[in-house]
Amino acid sequence: MCEKAYKSMSRVGALNIAVGIVVLILGIVSGVLLIVGGARLHKNKSGIIF
């Protein structure tokens, strides 16, 4: 009985680590894309007409 609980906890822990890594990578990628987009807008700001 106790063995089942420990196996379950280890699987959940591994899943949490995997999800954390994926979220971290997605955050970094989206941050880079936002910086690149802002840099492009800043570079071409003279062409923007309101």
Question: Using one digit for the tens of pLDDT, what is the confidence trace for 1-50?
Answer: 678 888 889 899 999 999 999 999 999 999 999 999 999 999 988 877 77
CA distance 31 to 38: 11
* Residues in contact with 41: Cβ distance below 8 Å, sequence separation at least 6, in sequence order: 48
Q: What is the pLDDT of residue 15?
A: 96
Q: What is the pLDDT of residue 12?
A: 94
Identity of the residue numbered 25 = I
Q: What is the pLDDT of residue 31?
A: 98
Query: Which tokens sit at 20?
Result: 């954390």
CA distance 40 to 24: 25
